[in-house]
């Protein structure tokens, strides 16, 4: 019985696959898929990986719906929901290769976020007086961190769990604490 339900669910994912195949963001979605596949040690065809993550990961579905710029996604969300407590602001420019670690109660509201971004749960990236952060490539932000305001997080930076970041972070730096302090460059 469980196997039958699994295949029925996969049939319901056909509209997702069609949107993926004709998406203007297909290259970016592929970067996301590649990163997720490496993280989960999954090999094989992109379509199989796409079906796997759409079936098994609400947070991946949230990212997928963000990438698909088509009103049909709202209908698809009725039976194939994303993570309800993971928000990506529609105005955020999000590079490919995003990976999440259980992004429950996570908000991404930045000017831009670069390639290969990693984010944990309870993270807030937000604005102060309408000014938002700019986040570089290969940045990791861990549990409970807050990054707000008109600041720049440099490439390869790591924001430690619980850090409150309101000032620029240079490339290759690791910051921790409240207020955040650089502990290594």
183 in helix, strand or coil?
A: strand
Q: How confident is the model at residue 4 (pLDDT cuts 50, 70, 90)?
A: confident
Q: Where are the alpha helices (DSSP H) in the chain?
A: 2-12, 14-21, 26-40, 46-56, 58-67, 72-79
**Is the model's pLDDT at 161 over the cut of 70?**
yes
pLDDT, one tens digit per residue, over 142-151 is 999 999 999 9
CA distance 139 to 9: 34
Between 79 and 65, the higher pLDDT residue: 65
Convert the pLDDT of each residue in 103-156 to its tens digit.
Answer: 999 999 999 999 999 999 999 999 999 999 999 999 999 999 999 999 999 999
pLDDT at 9: 72
In angstroms, the CA 132 to CA 81 distance is 28
Q: Long-range pairs for 109-116 at CB < 8 Å and ≥24 separation?
A: 110/134, 110/135, 110/147, 113/139, 114/138, 114/139, 114/155, 115/31, 116/35
Answer whether residue 6 shows pLDDT above 80: no
* Per-chain mean pLDDT for the chain: 93
User: What is the separation of C-alpha 76 from the centre of its chain, rounded to a whole number of angstroms?
Assistant: 19
In angstroms, rounded to a whole number, what is the distance separating the alpha carbons of residues 146 and 9?
A: 37
Distance, in Å, from the CA atom of 25 to the CA atom of 126, rounded to the nearest integer, reads: 24
3-state secondary structure of 121: coil
Provide the pLDDT for residue 91: 95
CA atoms of 117 and 113, how far apart (whole Å): 7
The tokens describing 14, both together, are 């056909």
**Residue 70 clears pLDDT 90, i.e. is over it:** no
- The pLDDT assigned to 79 comes to 86
* pLDDT beyond 80 at 1: no
pLDDT value of position 128: 95
């Amino acid at each position: 019985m469980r196997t039958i339900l699994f295949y029925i669910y996969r049939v319901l994912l056909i509209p997702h696959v069609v949107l993926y195949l004709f998406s203007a963001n297909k290259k970016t979605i592929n970067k996301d898929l590649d990163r997720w596949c490496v993280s989960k040690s999954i090999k094989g065809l992109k379509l199989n990986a796409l079906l796997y993550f759409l079936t098994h990961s609400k947070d991946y579905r949230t990212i997928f719906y963000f990438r698909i710029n088509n009103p049909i996604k709202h209908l698809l969300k009725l039976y194939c929901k994303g993570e309800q407590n993971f928000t990506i602001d529609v105005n955020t420019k999000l590079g490919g290769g995003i990976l999440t670690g259980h992004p429950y109660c996570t908000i991404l509201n930045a000017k831009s976020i670069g390639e290969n971004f990693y984010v944990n749960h309870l993270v807030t990236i937000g604005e102060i007086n309408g000014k938002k952060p700019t986040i570089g490539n290969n940045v990791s932000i861990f549990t409970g961190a807050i990054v707000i305001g008109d600041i720049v997080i440099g490439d390869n930076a790591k924001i430690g769990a619980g850090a409150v970041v309101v000032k620029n972070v240079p490339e290759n730096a690791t910051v921790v604490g409240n207020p955040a302090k650089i502990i290594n460059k």
